[in-house]
A and B are shown apart, each in its own frame.
Chain A
Amino acid sequence: NAGVMQNPRHLVRRRGQEARLRCSPMKGHSHVYWYRQLPEEGLKFMVYLQKENIIDESGMPKERFSAEFPKEGPSILRIQQVVRGDSAAYFCASSPGVDTGELFFGEGSRLTVL
């Protein structure tokens, strides 16, 4: 049973380009979360999605960032017009439901903005 799969593992972009990060949750999991980890800092919640719905996006920056979890295919975190401050590790996690509180994390996508 494959775990949470994230790709790409490493992504380099120049300022102003777009970054797309993909996340395939564990089989049977319909809840997806995105977190951002800045260098030497903790994890900051960004967004919580279920299939075709954004449930909580209170941690998403108001501009340039968007997320989706379509009926078919992986969840996508999209960052438009990247800036150097977007350089971070972006972690996706999935769970079968909200009640357990247990999240299963992917290995992360490390974005570097030049």
Chain B
Amino acid sequence: DAGVTQSPTHLIKTRGQHVTLRCSPISGHKSVSWYQQVLGQGPQFIFQYYEKEERGRGNFPDRFSARQFPNYSSELNVNALLLGDSALYLCASSKGNTGELFFGEGSRLTVL
């Protein structure tokens, strides 16, 4: 069975641009969460979606947005990129509303 897949794996953007990151959860998982991991730190919670509804949002500015589609895949959008947005963006899926998360390999974003 396929695990959580994320795309793209690596990308480079310049300040002010926007980015869209994509995630496909494990088949049967209805919840998708997004985390930002800055080098040397633990993942920081950005969003959780369950059954296409936003269930939680972390302490991130409105430049960050996300959505979940009917097939439970998800997109994370970041507008007006800043240098500090450079990080590994991790998507995780779970069967329900629990912390038993299954992570993808991440999308590494570099903002120049």
Question: Do A and B interact?
Answer: no
